[in-house]
Structure 1
C-alpha cells in the first residue's frame, strides 16, 4: 500500500523538493542547492520513465553528487575569472603607510594614511616602546574597530 503511494505520487515529492532547493539557492547563491535541484530533477525524470522510487532516489543522489563535485567547482571558477582582485575595506588598509598627525601619548595618536583618511591609531604591541612624534612615518598592521594598529616605518639609508 505504501509503496503504491510512493510510486504513484513520487513526482509531487520531486517537484516540491526542486522548488525548495531553488528557493534556498536564490537566497544563498552558492550553487550547492542548484546542484541538488538538478539532481532532484533527474529523480523526477527517471520516475516519469517508470523507474521505481528507490531507483529515483539513487539516481537523484548520484547525479547531485556528480554535479557538486564536478560542475560546481568549474562554475565557481568561471564566474570568479573576471572578478576584481583589488583589496577593499580593511584588507586595503593593511600595509598602507601614513604620517603621524598628533604625537602618540600612552601609545595612542592620530595618523593620516596615504589614501587621505585620518585614523585614530595605537602602536602595535610588537613595536618598540618609544615616543612617536608628529610627522613620523608609520605602517598599518591591523584594524581594530575604528582604530588603526600601526608600527613606525623602518628608516632606510640611501
Structure 2
C-alpha cells in the first residue's frame, strides 16, 4: 500500500488522468452528464498536477472545475439534448413560405405557386383580392387550400 501511495504522489497527473477516463467510462453507462462533468474536473486536476501543481492545488482545481461544469455547463447541455429540433414536413412546411399568384385570388378561389407546386388559394382577409404575379405569404393551409396574404417582398425564383 505504501508503494502505491508513493507512486501516486510521484505520478499524480497519471492518477488524475486515469480517474478522468474512468469517470468518462461510467458516464457512458449513465448518460446523465454528471460523471462527465466530474471527469472534466479530474482532467483539470491532471493538467494542474502535470504543470507542477501540488496535490492540494490539483484537488482544489478539480473540485472547482467539476462544480463549475455541474452548475454552468450541464444544465445548458441537458436543455439542448432534450429539445427536439423543429422539423416541419409536409403541408406544415409550406406555412411561412412565399409564393406567387398565378390566378387571381379572391374569396371565391384562385391559384398560387408555392415551392414549385400550384395550390388552390383564398385570401386570409376574405374581402381582399390579389392579382396574378403578386407575391404572397402563406399564413395557413386547410385541406388543399392555402390561405395567403399579399407579401411586402417581391417574389423570386
**TM (normalized to structure 2)?**
0.48
Max radius of gyration: which structure?
Answer: 2
Normalised to the residue count of structure 1, the TM-score between the two structures is: 0.48
